[in-house]
Amino acid sequence: MEFSASTHKNEARPTKQIFILSGQSNMAGRGGVDKHTKQWDGVVPPDCSADSSSIFRLSSQLDWEVAREPLHHDIDSKRTCGVGPGMSFANAVKERVGVVGLVPCAVAATPIKEWARGTHLYESMVNRAKAAAAASDGELRALLWYQGEKDTFSEQDATSYKENLERFIQNVREDLNLPCLPIILVVIASGNEKYLEKVREVQKGIDLPNVVCVDAMGLPLQGDNIHLTTPAQVKLGRTLAQAYITHILG
């Protein structure tokens, strides 16, 4: 496992603070993606700018490279990715934590049962997280999790969401050998209205140590009423950063 050839020698130093980005399409990023043409507008806000000395991402090939939007282009590769919360998060925390390593893992339209231990998505996420830490001699600092929209479409999925979410968190911590790994959980703002509040209440009521919730409700949505706009993603990333700094770093 090596750093991308596109990085300079002084950029190929081990990342120390590693954050897993996982969940569904809003974590993968749809900011700036036209719902009709499925094209990304290419607009990168200043808060999401690349920083070749401080912010890196683990590619699908397990190589470290300079992080830039769209972070999930080779992970959520069957869809068009745009701006997500990861880059604004990284830019907001880098002054406090130093070099940031991002591990994109989110995939669109995935219910939580597809993130159960033993599934492809779950095992890929865990393996990528382990590879990131091994490759950089760094430390896994938190999992940023934005998922649940898909579970609002059936009563069965919404009803089993609490059990599945708690098991997911426990399994991730166990499999990464990090029993206190911080989880910053985004409470969803969109989905099928029939069961949206049921899933939101589960997320807001999660009662496990080192789990912090950030509510996305009220952030502007695109015309599809599912995906956050680019400004909303920027704001969410900064909110996630503030939650990490306040509740985890103290």
**Is residue 32 pLDDT above 60, yes or no?**
yes
Out of 3.40.50.20, 2.40.70.10, 3.40.50.1110, 3.30.870.10, the CATH code matching 9-249 is 3.40.50.1110
Contact 214, 240 (CB under 8 A): yes
Q: Which pTM value belongs to this model?
A: 0.94
The model's pLDDT over 43-88, given as tens digits with 9 standing for 90+, comes to 999 999 999 999 999 999 999 999 999 999 999 999 999 999 999 9
Active-site residue flag, 137: no
Single out the catalytic residue among 54, 63, 76, 227. Answer: 227
Choosing from 41, 74, 137, 224, the catalytic residue is 224
Taking only the tens place, the pLDDT of each residue in 94-142 is 999 999 999 999 999 999 999 999 999 999 999 999 999 998 778 999 9
From the list 4, 8, 25, 60, the catalytic residue is 25
Distance, CA of 56 to CA of 62 (rounded, Å): 12
CA separation for the pair 149, 196 (Å, rounded): 8
Query: 25 an active-site residue?
Result: yes
